Structure 1
């Protein structure tokens, strides 16, 4: 199996699956961690209750709200630097990714990249999540694509989950 071969040829990577809400971070992150045989963490669990309440009320988080959240994710990444791991985290802004990379310099960012229309359609079908679809525009406005000097790759999400995971695996550094 091709993914099996890729797994045995690489050291356990440290991956941040990033993108706007509804891009598939959790689904792809879980599958990627399974394929890589490393632990997985959902960044939403690192939000303090105040952040969850704010988003549930339809208010976007500001940078100050995100600092303790990013530091918790950074701590998780740093704690898995030698064993590898995958965490899903929006990481929309360069400053957020820089903060995560400062905590875990070997982190590799997989940006799940899709159109506003595709992701809005996905969010409309989603139930029982604290992130309302009406905040999607603010997420796209905040999104800063990966810079050429950042460790990572943009992966299109218009295919199947399996195709997206395969593209992500292929993008990981050797």
Structure 2
């Protein structure tokens, strides 16, 4: 298992070691000891979630406010997504910066997103099964979000705008400047 800091140093790309032969493959999707050694702190994941979405579905950019902020470890079981993370920590030198990474069933990469970041993804394949660990429970009354096409953030979601499919809730999210 390899770990790599991205341009926002607190965001970590996890590249599992894949052991494969003509029968198939095996990989460890999570090793708490190695993971915590790399990030230098404990993360107590308490729940695993999974979603299935069709091509063009865009979910996000979501986050929860204290005391229900969430750290996440995300991966794709089937298909391919563009995963996007935005630093919303006002005291951070990378406040407002974003990172975009393709996660797929082929590369098997994972992304660690600590507390203090907005997160979203768009499905690039015909369908995708997306899985993630979280370290805090979901509380809808503490959920917030940033509109996907925010002009300040200027995120390239790769797919043309007319192909994007959003929930009504995600179409009504606030702009970044309203944080």
Output the TM-score relative to the length of structure 1: 0.27
> Which structure shows the higher helix fraction?
1
> Which structure shows the higher strand fraction?
2
Output the TM-score relative to the length of structure 2: 0.26
Structure with more contact order per residue of length (Cα contacts < 8 Å, sep ≥ 6): 1
User: Which structure has the greater CA radius of gyration?
Assistant: 2
